[in-house]
Structure 1
């Protein structure tokens, strides 16, 4: 339990009761708020600040610096600040504070996370799995198309039947900012789409424009796509959790790894800024090291005595 003055912890406890009773927050959320605010109270007590009214933005900036030194990342610190801002909103409402010192304080920026990417061989194995019913035929067509063309989740859900041209191997999608782009569709994806179009009439009404539909014949939702991809991974033996962004990330990374053409990948992904695409330029260092060792004439390791 945190060691802090009762004058600091009592308002925190009252705030937590308010969250639970009036805001109907879950016990887990309430526990999270309490932990973050109790940690702040303990820090303030150590600074001889035992009244929330006396806490100013300078004290909170010093606290943020302390959190950073303790190893917390930007996202965790942002959560602490969010809890503090909400707590002070409560104190102001209860007339237990005169201002909100956390309003203008921002957490330090986190390093950008590299997207997770599926292993090529494992992804091929999962997509080579045979579907067992019309819904799985649809699922395979969705997943092949997403990986083949790098579609966002919302773009996949919004694709219409007339946007697909199997003869030319192209599909039109509406991306962010309602910008339309024309994308190539690979051979495996075209095969899966033909199989889906053969069974689609059993689920979709004649006037249904959506390319992918639910069991009821309505346009499939993004949530359903996420759930079906997760289910596919489980039933087909994936070694990691499958989700739509994993397929888009894998499309970008695998294409860049083979081609090195950043501008082309930017166009295919529909990124307005090439800096967004550059997060995909990471390559597995072990793979690079192996290529280097095997290919560079001055890098090949000397053979051990006795080796042929």
Structure 2
């Protein structure tokens, strides 16, 4: 007996044939295109045939069996053989109660239920680290544990293991990658020592990685460059409207990439003309929403953003499955606009510096600049005073003996 679906009339045999209609509705809800839905149904059909051939019951599917299926698919197919490809189907089956939540989740290291879960909770609740930064920390620590954990267990980790991990990270990778791993490990080992997970402190083994700094002066995008970036956005398309609104927020409010990515629909207070910024260190502050920025966001929300009730992020992906943008995606929007505008690529922070330089040139007090940019340390804002080289030269004293000889 077979089940035929509207998604390309893909023929499905086996235990998943009765779930095809519900899965199609889920794909429609997630915004999958017709072609993408057909691909997902071919994947569903293959999994259903494999389960039937293995003589298994659908409810008995485990993580190891999912891995075995993906290994077979990789050997016989040229696409859709990763957990990422299978995630929509497994996630829907788990939410429907057809399979266990464990079967839909990627395999985790033995320490996950204890150390890493508590570490994640510690970062979120006690350190007030943002959700995306916390996730990145946990991913790096998990990778470290999977690779460098000694055979006799986590508790026997040594400083040599930590140093070797950081040195290995530097092979073929940028210094920034090593620094990020070092930050994650330092936070993790501090947590482990304070909570008693480890009886020895390994934070000293996380080497300080230094990058060459070409200049201490912050360099911002010029007004002409910003205008060129905005003009490069094709506002007749959904992608162009989204990129125009993102760049407006970056240039007019000086937001960080993570602050744009983390902005929620309820954060925009239209009646009061304000927007709530979810900043670093879980600090929330309201900023005035300029009319031109609000107009760009409204244009995106009304004519480009998909209507997905469960999605609360202001900016989301164009392709299915719909989800909020990440910080790297906001960086990509900025660099992609630079490419279109025939400019040397730079990221959102250069646009933030550009706003600060414009305020310095307009003689805005440093305290006010610090409020707009939400600097925790006034010394950070003071760096921008050094950008106004013309006025700094007026303060310079003549060099002794540097006058004309009589």
Match of 2:287 in 1: 183
SS in 2 for 1:259: coil
Match of 2:309 in 1: 206
Change in CA separation of 1:162 and 1:259 when aligned onto 2, cut-off 3 Å: farther
Q: Which deviations, in whole Å up to 9, do the C-alpha atoms of 1:266-302 show, x marking residues without a partner?
A: 111111211111111233435887xx8xxxxxxxxxx
State whether residues 360 and 388 of structure 2, in contact with CA within 8 Å, keep that contact through their aligned partners in structure 1: no
User: What is the root-mean-square deviation in Å for CA atoms of aligned residues?
Assistant: 3.7
Match of 2:325 in 1: 220
Match of 2:377 in 1: 273
Q: CA deviation at 1:125?
A: 2.7
Match of 2:355 in 1: 251
Unaligned runs of 5+ in 1: 1-18, 33-74, 83-101, 293-308
State whether residues 237 and 304 of structure 2, in contact with CA within 8 Å, keep that contact through their aligned partners in structure 1: no
Change in CA separation of 1:135 and 1:257 when aligned onto 2, cut-off 3 Å: same
- The separation in 1 between residues aligned to 2:168 and 2:382, in whole angstroms, is 42
1:114 aligns with 2:217: yes
1:231 aligns with 2:359: no
- The separation in 2 between residues aligned to 1:198 and 1:287, in whole angstroms, is 45
Q: CA deviation at 1:106?
A: 8.3
Match of 2:115 in 1: none
Q: Higher mean Cα deviation, 213-222 or 165-174? A: 165-174
- The separation in 2 between residues aligned to 1:109 and 1:242, in whole angstroms, is 18
Change in CA separation of 1:252 and 1:206 when aligned onto 2, cut-off 3 Å: same
Change in CA separation of 1:110 and 1:260 when aligned onto 2, cut-off 3 Å: farther
Q: TM-score, normalised by structure 1?
A: 0.56
Higher relative contact order (CA 8 A, sep 6+): 1
Unaligned runs of 5+ in 2: 1-163, 183-203, 395-406
Q: TM-score, normalised by structure 2?
A: 0.43
Change in CA separation of 1:190 and 1:107 when aligned onto 2, cut-off 3 Å: closer
